[in-house]
Structure formats: C-alpha cells, structure tokens
Amino acid sequence: MIGFDYGTSNCAVGVMEDNKPKLLSLGDHGRFIPSTLYAPSRDVIVNWLHKHLTLSEQKNFQQQRQWQIQKGKNTLRELTLDGYPTELTFGKQALNNYLQEPDEGYYIKSPKSFLGASGLLPQQMDLFEDIVAAMMSNVKRLTEESLGRSIDQTVIGRPINFQGLRGEQSNQQALKILTNAAKRVGFKNVEFQFEPVAAGFEYEASLSQETKVLVVDIGGGTTDCSMLLMGPKQAPLTDRSADLLSHSGERVGGNDFDIALALKGVMPSFGINSELKTGKPMPNNSYWQAMAINNINDQTEFYSDTNARFLEQLIRDAKQPELVKRLLTVQQNKLSYRVVNAAEQSKIALTEQTKLQIDLSDIDDGLTVELDRECFASACKRELSSIAVLMKDAITEANCQPDVVFVTGGTAKSPILQQFLQQQLPNTEIVIGDHFGSVTAGLTRWAKTIYS
C-alpha cells in the first residue's frame, strides 16, 4: 500500500517504515517527480500506455481505443522514418525536451489542473485519462523498482474542489478520470483523501493533546483549507468525519502565482502596458491567454491562426512594435510554458534573494528582465486575497478559532506569503510543514489506517 500524491506540481509516493511515513526515491527523479509529460506527438501517448499495460488490460484497452491506437501507429511510423524519438519522457527530462524544441512534440504540465474543466469532449476526456494513466504507470513502475515488490493499494490525494466553476460535477468528473487511470495501470484498491486533511494527519502525529488545526495547503493548482480536530485520541480512528469541522477550496495555487508574476513582471517587456499609435492602451487579452497555461480554452485561442493574424496587425498598430513582436515569437514558437517556467523559477529564487535577473535572450537577443520581491507581492495581491477568504470561510463554517495554523505547499516557502498569513491571524501560531512532503506523508498514514 502506498500514499500517492498525484500533485499539480509534483508527484510523490510514501510507504510506512518503522511506523513512520517514508517518501521513496523514484529513480533519477529523487523523491519528487515534476508533473510533466513530453511526447514526440500527442497521438502516440495512447500507444505508449498500451505497451506498458498488463496483457489482460491491453485487450480491454485495445477495444476502447482502437481508432486512437491505429492513428498512433501511423504517427509512430512517420516519426521513425524521420529519425525522431518515439518514447515518452516525464519530469525534468520532459521539460528539458520541450525547452530544446518548444515548437515540436507535445508537452503538458500539471494535467491535474484540467481534469475538472467544463465542456470537455469525450475524446478530450479519453486523452486526459491516457495522460494521467501514463504518468501513474511511470510512477508505479519506479515505486515497485524501489520497493522490489508489486503494489496494488493506494490512497490518492485530491483537492476540496478541482474546479471552481461547476462544483461537485467537476469534482466527480476529475475523480472518475483519476480512478479509471489508476485502475487501468494496476491499482486494485483506490481511495481518495482531501489533501489538506492528509497534511493534517502528518501534523497530528506530533501532537500531545487535542488541538484545533487550520490546515492551509497551497498546492500547485488549488488552495485548500480544512479545520480539523486532532490529537492522540483521534489519530487511530478509521472514521474521522466528526473531526473534520470545515472545508474550503478554490482553484488558486502556485501556478496562478507564477502566471501573475509573469504578467506583472515579464509581460511589460512584451508590450502589455504599452500603447497603440492612436494613444489607446494595448489590448491585453492575448497576453492573458499566452500565460494561462492552466486553461485549455485560452491556450487554444492564443495559438490559433486567427490570433496570429491579430498579433501581426497589433504589431503594425503599436507605438512600440518591437515589444509586441516578442509576443508573436511566443505564439509562433509555442513558448508559453517557457515564459511561465521562468517566472516560476524566479518565484522560487525570490525566497532567498530580494531581486534577480532572468535571461530571455532565446526569445529576443539581449532580453533580460529584473524581478524583485516587491514586484511579486504586487503581482499576487488577488491570489493572496483569495487565500485570506478561504481561511476566513473555513473558520466561519467551523464556528471556532484555530489553536494553530499548519501551512504546507511549495508556494508557502515565500517570505511574502508567510508574512501575509501571519497578518491574517496575528495571535495564532503559524507552523510551516514540509512544503512538498506533508501531503504525501499524511496520505501514507491514512493508507495504513484504512488498509491494515
């Protein structure tokens, strides 16, 4: 049995060892595999997955994906004839492959962000299920290699709400995709646990008395808050429903902080704050679409031929056409992930540094952008405000004040965020957990509780 954090930013796996959770090292990736996938073509993902399934599951899969598998075979033949690689890559290697040739192949980051999206067509649902299954298959294989034995029971983390638009309908859609993918790759028993509750379970192991804990989990795709009654008496129970006092969650997370920083700090060098020759402000819709890497519809619109023609006209109309040309370069060479990744790496670096320069000379010769903490704080005001509302909602619903606030998630490393959280509850202790490992550890504890 394992705890499996199929996260928006990273994937991680834990097992119980000496009555404590241990996060496994998964091959060359280490304990955390970035939630990214790169394929030489989107059409061959289904073929890679088919090849890595058990023989019995291959037959079922063949029947369900017959047309897609045949299309993928044709694409594989073309790739082979042209001398291109045909394998999928994951994690950092996937990002490296994308950055080498952004306009080639198929790269996806954080597919979990899309699972609750509204308006998905059946073929899109199939594609996302196959992407998730391929990633899970890779993680399962690495886990079994690390342990030296097979695994078929797992607890997978889930946010309170996958998507803010359709509520429970979005949640059920996402859970169905995750369940189908997990069972497809060989997990016989699949259970889910709210990610903030899982993080709370890990913190609970350190408590010596009953405590009201407000868990604030700022993940890559969502921020979730749970007010929990925790302590030594509660920890062994298999039914914790009476201890879960309230929940709140919204689709605002680390990705949104990255996008906000990209828009505020990087896009001015691409013309977002410039003017047209008429003196009117530059239309900014294409800039938002360019950076919205977690929105299928926005990205589809940005990379459309119609938008390419619009940007070409915008260059002719701009007072500073050289700036808008950079946005067209992003569009023509599929560089949205490249720019947002630069913002993400800057956000991480700003936890230790007060300012830095990023090199974007691959987009335009000599282009560098300076970012600092003040810019980051200004960029993410909306996201911080949303987190404050979620905290307040959880406290209001629970009808009690927390004794302690337990914070986890990669973005929680930021001094800006830590200061903001303390301002929300100035008289309450703030405990910062393992930024990336608390959820996985808690899922592992819960797996032992329910499967033992």
Check residues 120 and 204 and name the one with the higher pLDDT.
Answer: 204
Count of alpha carbons within 13 Å of 350, Cβ hemisphere only? Answer: 28
| pLDDT tens figures, 236-259 | 999 999 999 999 998 899 999 999
pLDDT at 183: 96
Contacts 24+ apart (CB under 8 A), 313-319: 314/282, 314/283, 314/286, 317/276, 317/277, 317/278, 318/271, 318/274, 318/275, 318/276, 318/277, 318/282, 319/274, 319/275, 319/276, 319/277
pLDDT at 319: 97
**Same-domain status, 244 and 262:** no
Q: How confident is the model at residue 364 (pLDDT cuts 50, 70, 90)?
A: very high
Quote the distance between the C-alpha of residue 125 and its chain's center: 18
**Same-domain status, 264 and 309:** yes
pLDDT at 166: 56
The two beta strands, 429-432 and 404-408, are: parallel
Q: Is the pLDDT of residue 228 over 80?
A: yes
pLDDT at 165: 53
Q: How confident is the model at residue 32 (pLDDT cuts 50, 70, 90)?
A: very high
Q: Structure tokens of 13? A: 């796996």
What mean pLDDT is predicted for residues 262-279? 97
d(C-alpha 183, C-alpha 54), whole Å? 12
Q: Give the chain's length.
A: 452
The three-state secondary structure class of 163 is coil
Q: Structure tokens of 118? A: 């509204």
Q: Is the dihedral of CA 132, 133, 137, 140 positive or negative?
A: positive
**Same-domain status, 313 and 214:** no
Indicate whether 334 belongs to any domain.
yes
**Same-domain status, 392 and 312:** no
d(C-alpha 452, C-alpha 434), whole Å? 26
SS3 content of the chain, % helix, strand, coil (to 5): 50, 20, 30
Q: Is the pLDDT of residue 161 over 70?
A: yes
Backbone angles phi, psi at 24, to 5 degrees: -80, 150
Cα 376–379–385 angle (5° rounding)? 110
**Same-domain status, 398 and 315:** no
Indicate whether 225 belongs to any domain.
yes
Examine the fold and report which residue of 344, 379, 414 is the final residue of a domain before the chain moves on: 379
**Same-domain status, 273 and 350:** yes
Indicate whether 191 belongs to any domain.
no
The domain spanning residue 386 has which CATH number? 3.30.420.40
Residue type at position 7: G
Examine the fold and report which residue of 379, 396, 413 is the final residue of a domain before the chain moves on: 379
pLDDT at 159: 92
Answering whether pTM is above 0.85, one says yes
CA-CA-CA-CA dihedral for 142, 62, 128, 148, to nearest 10: -10
321 within 8 A of 364, measured Cβ to Cβ: no
d(C-alpha 402, C-alpha 70), whole Å? 56
47 within 8 A of 39, measured Cβ to Cβ: no
48 within 8 A of 39, measured Cβ to Cβ: yes
| pLDDT tens figures, 42-94 | 999 999 999 999 998 999 999 999 999 999 999 999 999 988 889 999 999 99
**Same-domain status, 264 and 243:** no
DSSP state of 282: P
What mean pLDDT is predicted for residues 431-446? 91
**Same-domain status, 276 and 343:** yes
Q: What's the per-residue H, E or C state across 197-229?
A: HHHHHHHHCCCCCCEEEEEEEECCCCEEEEEEE
**Same-domain status, 297 and 397:** no
What mean pLDDT is predicted for residues 314-318? 97
pLDDT at 213: 97
* Max Cα distance, the chain (Å): 70
| pLDDT tens figures, 376-429 | 999 999 999 999 999 999 999 999 999 999 999 888 888 999 999 999 999 999
Domain tally, the chain: 2
**Same-domain status, 331 and 407:** no
Q: In what order do the strands lie in the sheet with 89-90?
A: 89-90, 36-39, 106-109
pLDDT at 191: 97
pLDDT at 435: 78
**Same-domain status, 282 and 374:** yes
Average pLDDT in the chain: 94
Indicate whether 387 belongs to any domain.
yes
pLDDT at 106: 93
Indicate whether 234 belongs to any domain.
yes
Indicate whether 242 belongs to any domain.
yes
Q: Is the dihedral of CA 402, 403, 409, 410 positive or negative?
A: positive
**Same-domain status, 262 and 334:** yes
pLDDT at 85: 87
Determine the structural domain holding residue 340 and report its residue range: 255-379
Indicate whether 351 belongs to any domain.
yes
Quote the distance between the C-alpha of residue 421 and its chain's center: 22
What mean pLDDT is predicted for residues 181-210? 95
What mean pLDDT is predicted for residues 196-217? 95
Cα 159–36–108 angle (5° rounding)? 95
pLDDT at 200: 95
Indicate whether 80 belongs to any domain.
no
Q: Is the pLDDT of residue 288 over 60?
A: yes
Q: Which residues contact 349 (CB under 8 A, 6 or more apart)?
A: 356
pLDDT at 433: 84
